[in-house]
A and B are shown apart, each in its own frame.
Chain A
Amino acid sequence: MSDRLTVAKTYKLYIGGKFPRSESGRSYPVTDAKGTFLANAAQGSRKDARDAVTAARKAFAGWSGTTAYNRGQVLYRVAEVLEGRREQFIAEVASSEGVQAKKAQSLVDTAIDRWVWYAGWTDKIAAVLGSSNPVAGPYFSFSTPEPTGVVAVLAPQQSSLLGLISVIAPVIASGNTCVVITSQDRPLPAITLSEVLATSDVPGGVVNIITGRTAEIAPWLASHGDVNALDLTGAPESIRADLERSAAGTVKRVLRNKPSEDFTVTPDMSRLRAYLETKTVWHPMGV
């Protein structure tokens, strides 16, 4: 038997393409499904969320300005790196969710496929959701979908990787940037995803990942004046109504999907559509 001590990890946040410690200096122990210690994760605070929103806003112009085709390429590249980390993800999902290796393997494979599925959508959204509108006048009128801006995502509490990817990918595929609060008790796959994003071609700030207590940080994102949309999927039942109410104060788009959502089913376009604004242009036709 080897007497080597394993290196215990203390992870950090992922904000603006960097890995800062929480401003609060706090961290919390993460355990597996049976309660065995796995690692320490940073316990983010409202100020980390604020910094993350600033980073996401800063990244928005660049990310939404890239061509849809290019965004698709960047997301495919992420899938490649995900594939390279497959074994690590399988181990983390198995320990976090307390499932057998075979089940974990299927969850990770579905997650990577899900990412590729959304990557394929980037240059098709405008064709499906845009239109040229028949109007009663000498105008050419057309509508195009545009990203709404910075999206605050409360990631599912149960599905630590497949659920996480199913909520992040549709946000960034259409050109939004996001601040994600991970699953509180199962953050490790999200932390590994941040390492994947940092080493692929996604610009810093497009995805910002904060670990910590969802109920502590979510209200600050719901009321934040510079957040344009809020995904409530991982919100604790007790604060959902409050979050929705304070999100209304700054007229955010709110996605009310239930925590019980089944992520193994191939999704429809609804998550993509949730973070889009429609721009309609009326153009005089001339002679």
Chain B
Amino acid sequence: MAAPTTLPSALADAVRDESSLRRFLHGLPGVDQVGVEQRAAGLGTRSIKKASKLHAIDLAISMVDLTTLEGADTHGKVRSLAAKARRPDPERPDVPKVAAVCVYPDMVKTAADDLVGTGINVASVATAFPSGRSTMDIKLADTRFAVEQGAAEVDMVIDRGAFLSGRYGQVFEEIVKIKEACGDAHLKVILETGELVTYDNVRRASWLALLAGGDFIKTSTGKVQPAATLPVTHVMLQAVRDWKDQTGELRGVKPAGGIRTTKDAIKYLVAVHEVAGPEWLDPHLFRFGASTLLNDLLMQRRTQLDGHYSGPDYVTVD
């Protein structure tokens, strides 16, 4: 097994071979389920108002990976999404642009052509998204195709079947190879926490992805329920914080799926601040995978600035 970067000796030791990897992952402390759920719920009650709320809304907008991953996607839909990414609220030019547009590989070129020079990245899902059930060659080809088309970020899915059967080495190898195929593109590793069942598994998968070189760990594909939840994101934020403590490197977290309201988004931002740290309140290190969330953020922003409630008639339909 090849470690992607120079790791401190304890971690380098963990990736020496499959059995040491298993020993390392199973040696991670277990997650206190009641504790993490209580803490997540507790932080969720923080009241963020007025100027802080407005700031949080703008920050959340700049963290959105505006996503369309439907079988019915058309080039036209992707282009209108790109337009929305550039200028989320056309009547208000001071609204920040989103972080990235996330599409299927065959739509990457359409999005990339529309986003040249805007500073907005194109992210592409790859590796037989969303199930990840295909051969390694196909997954690699899928990734290379996305990158060639202009994706600056690749969202891969892990092989949950292999992970749940304990074949950690196989999952690790896959992530390492995909990371190589990505070249300069950032790699986000989708753990699909809804299929991992326990918080302990989420912690193990997070560490596995970090060890293998994932730049981001992402909760879900959005195709499986439950998708992102606050406690799961807590566990993942703890993993990137611990990773920084041990290696000095900053890795990102991306909750995706099921985050639809501004209230939810702000709860996540509070968790980021409290669990990982204020450094992570940055679009380079924290993203929201979402489509409907953006409209709610824009409506709440209008509510804050106009002094009265806004409605869906004032944002774009998508």
Interface set of A (CB-CB < 8 Å, partner B): 50, 53, 57, 220, 223-227, 246, 249
- Interface size class on chain B is under 10
Q: Nearest residue in A to B308 (C-beta to C-beta)?
A: A223
Distance of A90 Cα from B295 Cα, bound (Å): 47
Contact call B308/A226, Cβ cutoff below 8 A: no
Q: Nearest residue in B to A46 (C-beta to C-beta)?
A: B309
The contact string, 1 if C-beta is below 8 Å from chain A, for chain B 295-314, is 00000001000011111111
5 nearest A-B pairs in the assembled complex, by CB-CB distance = A226-B311, A223-B308, A225-B311, A225-B310, A224-B309
Distance of A50 Cα from B296 Cα, bound (Å): 14
Distance of A226 Cα from B303 Cα, bound (Å): 11
- A225 — which chain B residues lie within 8 A by C-beta? 302, 308-311, 313-314
- A249 — which chain B residues lie within 8 A by C-beta? 308
Distance of A224 Cα from B312 Cα, bound (Å): 11
- B312 — which chain A residues lie within 8 A by C-beta? 57, 226
Contact call A53/B309, Cβ cutoff below 8 A: yes
Q: Nearest residue in B to A224 (C-beta to C-beta)?
A: B309
Number of residue pairs across A and B with beta carbons under 8 Å?
28
Q: Nearest residue in B to A150 (C-beta to C-beta)?
A: B311
**Out of B307, B311, B314, which one reaches A57, CB within 8 Å?**
B311
Contact call B308/A246, Cβ cutoff below 8 A: yes
The listed residue with most A CB atoms (<10 A of its CB), out of B309, B310, B311, B313, is: B309
Contact call A220/B309, Cβ cutoff below 8 A: yes
| Main secondary structure on B side of the interface with A | loop
Q: Nearest residue in A to B311 (C-beta to C-beta)?
A: A226
Distance of A227 Cα from B314 Cα, bound (Å): 12
Distance of A280 Cα from B311 Cα, bound (Å): 26
The contact string, 1 if C-beta is below 8 Å from chain A, for chain B 276-318, is 0000000000000000000000000010000111111110000
- B307 — which chain A residues lie within 8 A by C-beta? 223
- Chain B's nearest CB lies how many Å from the CB of A179? 12
Distance of A246 Cα from B306 Cα, bound (Å): 12
- Chain A's nearest CB lies how many Å from the CB of B146? 37
Known: A53-B309, A226-B309, A226-B310. 4 other contacts (CB 8 A): A50-B309, A57-B311, A224-B309, A225-B302
- Chain A's nearest CB lies how many Å from the CB of B302? 8
Interface set of B (CB-CB < 8 Å, partner A): 302, 307-314
- Chain B's nearest CB lies how many Å from the CB of A258? 26
- A57 — which chain B residues lie within 8 A by C-beta? 311-312
The listed residue with most A CB atoms (<10 A of its CB), out of B302, B310, B311, is: B311
Distance of A125 Cα from B313 Cα, bound (Å): 27
- B310 — which chain A residues lie within 8 A by C-beta? 225-226
Interchain Cβ contacts under 8 Å between A and B, 5 examples: A53-B311, A57-B311, A224-B309, A225-B310, A227-B311
- A227 — which chain B residues lie within 8 A by C-beta? 311
Distance of A53 Cα from B311 Cα, bound (Å): 10
- Chain A's nearest CB lies how many Å from the CB of B296? 11
- B302 — which chain A residues lie within 8 A by C-beta? 225
Distance of A75 Cα from B106 Cα, bound (Å): 51
Distance of A97 Cα from B34 Cα, bound (Å): 52
- B314 — which chain A residues lie within 8 A by C-beta? 225
- B309 — which chain A residues lie within 8 A by C-beta? 50, 53, 220, 223-226
Distance of A220 Cα from B309 Cα, bound (Å): 7
- Chain A's nearest CB lies how many Å from the CB of B221? 26
Distance of A223 Cα from B309 Cα, bound (Å): 7
- A223 — which chain B residues lie within 8 A by C-beta? 307-309
Distance of A223 Cα from B313 Cα, bound (Å): 14
- Chain A's nearest CB lies how many Å from the CB of B24? 47
- A50 — which chain B residues lie within 8 A by C-beta? 309
- Chain B's nearest CB lies how many Å from the CB of A209? 19
Q: Nearest residue in B to A223 (C-beta to C-beta)?
A: B308
Distance of A50 Cα from B314 Cα, bound (Å): 16
Distance of A246 Cα from B312 Cα, bound (Å): 19
- Chain B's nearest CB lies how many Å from the CB of A210? 15
- A220 — which chain B residues lie within 8 A by C-beta? 308-309
- B311 — which chain A residues lie within 8 A by C-beta? 53, 57, 224-227
Distance of A47 Cα from B312 Cα, bound (Å): 17
Contact call A224/B308, Cβ cutoff below 8 A: yes
- Chain B's nearest CB lies how many Å from the CB of A13? 17
Q: Nearest residue in B to A219 (C-beta to C-beta)?
A: B308
- Chain A's nearest CB lies how many Å from the CB of B306? 8
Distance of A226 Cα from B311 Cα, bound (Å): 4
- A226 — which chain B residues lie within 8 A by C-beta? 309-313
Distance of A53 Cα from B308 Cα, bound (Å): 13
Distance of A225 Cα from B312 Cα, bound (Å): 8
Distance of A209 Cα from B308 Cα, bound (Å): 21
- A53 — which chain B residues lie within 8 A by C-beta? 309, 311
- Chain A's nearest CB lies how many Å from the CB of B77? 22
Distance of A249 Cα from B313 Cα, bound (Å): 14
Q: Nearest residue in A to B310 (C-beta to C-beta)?
A: A225
